[in-house]
Chains A and B, each alone.
Chain A
Amino acid sequence: MRTLSGVGSTPLSGVGTARWYRPDALDLPERPAPETVDPARERERFADARETAREGIRRARDRTAERVGEDEAAVFEAHEQFLDDPQLVEAIEDAIDGGVPAEHAVDDAFGEAVAQFEGMEGRMAERADDLRDVRDRLLRALLDAGTGDLAALPPGTVLLAERLTPSDTAELDPGVVAGIATATGGRTAHAAIIARSLAIPAVVGVGDALADVAEGATVLVDGEAGEVVVDPDETRRAESEGLDAPVVEERVTTADGRPVEVAANVGRPAELDPAVARGADGVGLFRTEFLFLDRERPPDEDEQYEAVTAALSAFPGERVVVRTLDVGGDKQVPYLDLPAEPNPFLGRRGVRLSLDEHADLFETQLRALLRAAAHDGGDLCVMVPMVARVEEVEAVLDRVGSVAADLDDEDVEYAVPELGAMVETPAAVHVADALAERLDFLSIGTNDLTQYVMAADREHDGVADLHDPLHPPVLRAIDRTVSAAHERDAWVGMCGEMAGDPALTELLVGLGLDELSMSAVTVSAVKERVRAVDTDAAAALADEVLACETRAEVAALLS
């Protein structure tokens, strides 16, 4: 087993057989003497190659728009414009008229343009990649070279490459490609964005060491850890076990018939289709931050309405749990002008901001959500993050009431969705009964709950051993929350990494969770586990686990 480090680009993992993609086999023939070149014929060859390239770019554009999204497809519009760039076209045609064959003319003109952009920072380097992509299309057409059969790879392929272009990536079938590892590239490159949207595990920027991985080797790509593991051992494989499980589309129950909903966490619209494809029963956590980050002003009500109804339409009749805006001192939102905080995770984040200085944003969001709740065939649930006090929930309910009254006055169609709170602070655990009394559901956010219960920063490597939900205090907090909610007839879900670990499914069912929500990629594996669970045995296991005093004892029971 050998581990290479890179940058995790798609936070999923996959194992497969290594295949090298070497598109650089675009070898130009020897440059002939100018007098032997027929410019008229070369111009025609260039024109034909341009049309072939154009068709390819348009196909890639359409495929990406359909499978990934319009935003990601926009890069191919830029490619078409490079293809038509008057400077490039003129340089190529001039060279041809001077006796240079079309392929050399293309290579020279693009080579010069690439050199201009190369070595520059950030976006300019990406432009160089785009230009190379267009150049290669033209050269392939001129040299009659194949595309390296990216569209016809055998199932279970881990694709290795020096670099991948956006065009290459759009060609890939997520059902066939188990992972991607590239020597160069960063996680914001277009190819990486497309891979992420297609839910293909990817690690980029591995460097020269990647070249030593042999064709045909068994390779694990861990896009979460940013690692490429050659000949992974059983333990390492087990970490990604279940990711290749067949898709279970239908709802599942335990072996003795207790239904457990298995839903997906969704962070942006492009993740909706993969979530459906992976068999999710609905959305257990729809983050709304993507609507607010990286822009100049907040989204308006209609934009938010569209985004939420898109999620509802992706899952007709299924529950979609939308989390209201969860920003705080740790996330940059320029127009909110949030002051830097010494302890952002203990500062003004989540519902604290929504109820106070950004009440206007919250009201707009609630209006959009109440309107979306009236959407045909949808089952919208809304939850607020970072709740610590009963008063906060009461204030939220007040706001919902007044927004509903406004919509009523304006004769706007709306419905009041099911309302819930995220339980991620120890405070919320201790008042879970009072919260559940006022709400329809609770959803346990285990990443933050663990951080706050254990007083261990989740980003801090030095306390990583504390940041583990299997510590008894965290498990007891979960148990307490579930029991309190059920006593008040509220349902309880869990979103967070813990919910998506198939090894913990039996325990979580035993603890009484009604819904588990996770990265789409583990949905089917968890469903398989749910089917095998006997609820009495699971409850007995949970009792035993809750009696443990140390993490080691818990781990021993679960192994």
Chain B
Amino acid sequence: MERTVEVVPEAGLHARPASQFVRTANQYDAAVRVGRADEGDDGLVEGNSMLAVTGLNVEHGESVRLVAEGEDAAAALDALAAILTTPVEADDGEGDAEGDGP
């Protein structure tokens, strides 16, 4: 089974979202693949590999396709879609360090 979602976190499929994605993919009894929605089957990579997932370089706002096979496929898709559609504060460390207001 499969699903297509738009990536909401500011960091795209990087940093914390990527990490959560891979961890979650590993938790289910399902083979998960992920790729850009418009790249068809050729664009799919293994969802349990941090290297492969971050290597996609999927940015905020892009549509991704999730394909899962196996006993927990439906549950895995639900959990992964939730990660991809939940906003996270971008962890880019840009602070307001030098005091802009005062």
Contacts and interface: CB of A to CB of B under 8 A. Distances in A.
Bound pair (A, B): yes
Interface of A: 10-11, 71-72, 74-75, 77-78, 81-82, 84-88, 113, 116-117, 120, 123-124, 127, 131, 187-188, 192-193, 196-197, 224, 265, 267-268, 271, 285, 287, 289-290, 293-297, 323, 326, 385, 422, 424, 443-448, 494-497, 519
A267 B50 contact: no
A447 B95 contact: no
24 contacts: A71-B16, A71-B89, A71-B91, A75-B15, A77-B16, A77-B23, A78-B50, A85-B50, A87-B51, A87-B52, A113-B51, A188-B94, A196-B95, A265-B99, A265-B102, A268-B96, A271-B95, A296-B8, A323-B101, A424-B102, A444-B102, A447-B100, A448-B101, A497-B99
A84 B48 CA distance: 9
A531 B79 CA distance: 59
Interface string B1-31: 0000000101110111011001100000000
B19 A77 contact: yes
B42 interface: no
B90 interface: yes
Contacts of A271: 95
Contact of A447 (B8, B54, B90, B102): B102
Nearest to B88: A295
Contacts of A268: 95-96
Contact of A285 (B10, B12, B46, B101): B101
A519 B91 contact: no
A78 B100 contact: no
Contact of A422 (B22, B50, B97, B101): B101
Given A285-B101, A289-B96, A496-B102, A78 B90 contact: no
Given A78-B19, A285-B102, A295-B10, A267 B92 contact: no
Contact of A74 (B16, B48, B99): B16
A226 to B, nearest CB: 12
4 A-B pairs closest in CB distance: A445-B102, A193-B93, A496-B102, A81-B50
A290 B15 CA distance: 19
Given A74-B16, A87-B52, A124 B98 contact: no
Contacts of B87: 295-297
Contacts, number: 128
Contacts of B96: 267-268, 287, 289-290
B91 A72 contact: yes
Q: Which of A78, A197, A265, A424: most chain B Cβ within 10 A?
A: A78
A366 to B, nearest CB: 18
B8 to A, nearest CB: 7
A72 B92 CA distance: 9
Given A78-B18, A196-B95, A445 B10 contact: no
A124 B50 contact: no
A294 B101 CA distance: 18
A287 B102 CA distance: 10
Contact of A11 (B14, B92, B94, B98): B98
Contacts of A297: 87
A193 B15 CA distance: 13
Given A81-B19, A84-B50, A124-B57, 11 more contacts: A11-B98, A71-B16, A77-B19, A78-B19, A88-B51, A127-B55, A193-B93, A196-B97, A295-B90, A297-B87, A447-B102
A296 B88 CA distance: 8
Contacts of A193: 91-93
A192 B54 CA distance: 21
Contacts of A444: 102
A64 to B, nearest CB: 12
A400 to B, nearest CB: 20
Interface of B: 8, 10-12, 14-16, 18-19, 22-23, 46, 48-52, 54-55, 57, 87, 89-102
A49 B15 CA distance: 25
Contacts of A446: 102
A81 B23 contact: yes
B92 to A, nearest CB: 5
Nearest to B60: A296
B74 to A, nearest CB: 23
Nearest to A124: B57
A385 B89 CA distance: 24
A117 B102 contact: no
A447 B57 CA distance: 40
Contacts of A85: 49-52
B102 A495 contact: yes
Given A196-B93, A290-B95, A295-B89, A87 B49 contact: yes
B23 A294 contact: no
A113 B53 CA distance: 13
A294 B89 contact: yes
A345 B51 CA distance: 44
Nearest to B21: A81
A86 B102 contact: no
A87 B46 contact: yes
B15 A267 contact: no
A117 B99 CA distance: 35
A81 B24 CA distance: 11
Q: Which of B87, B98, B100, B102: most chain A Cβ within 10 A?
A: B102
B101 A78 contact: no
A217 B31 CA distance: 56
A124 B8 CA distance: 19
A268 B91 CA distance: 12
Contact of B91 (A74, A293, A447): A74
Given A82-B51, A88-B51, A74 B19 contact: yes
Contacts of A82: 50-51
Contacts of B16: 71, 74, 77
B23 to A, nearest CB: 7
A517 B51 CA distance: 45
